[in-house]
Structure 1
Amino acid sequence: MATDTSTVLIDGAEVRITTETAPLGDVTRTVVVPVIQPGRQDQNGNDVADIPLLTLPGGAAALTAHLPTGYGLRMEGPQARHRRPCARWTC
């Protein structure tokens, strides 16, 4: 299994993004946002960390988490919609 991990500063939070490619080609993406700390450098002026979780092909955010101080997040799932007619564990 091939793995690629990067850390990106988004709205004052260090977000870790991991992409794993399974031997059959399925790609899983994991986004980890650590607990938002007081005093972080907010970039939008709205006092929450605005973390895009899913983006559209043009780069616009399709799903964004708005995390206040004291909250974190972990999201994991397929990087793209499965094109097969059935789930990978039933075929």
Structure 2
Amino acid sequence: MATATAGAVTNLGTDVVDMIWTKKYHVELLEIHSRIEGVANRLSEYLRQIEAETARIFKKNGNAEEALKEALELLIAQGKL
């Protein structure tokens, strides 16, 4: 009987520790996700700007590679990237 009780107490202690660590890491993961989400949003906006500017330049010169190069140079020079 004492062995069973000791085992139950040990299991309960392990469960409590697991819950504490899980909660701690859950909060840390949410913080990391929040930071990554901001970076992802900025990257998405940069890519949208690059695509729009590349399309505009491509209509003029018809060369996709040159249009991308010019778009990047222009956006960097304007401080948008």
TM interval, shorter chain, is under 0.3
Task: Report the TM-score when normalising by structure 2.
Answer: 0.20
Task: Report the TM-score when normalising by structure 1.
Answer: 0.19
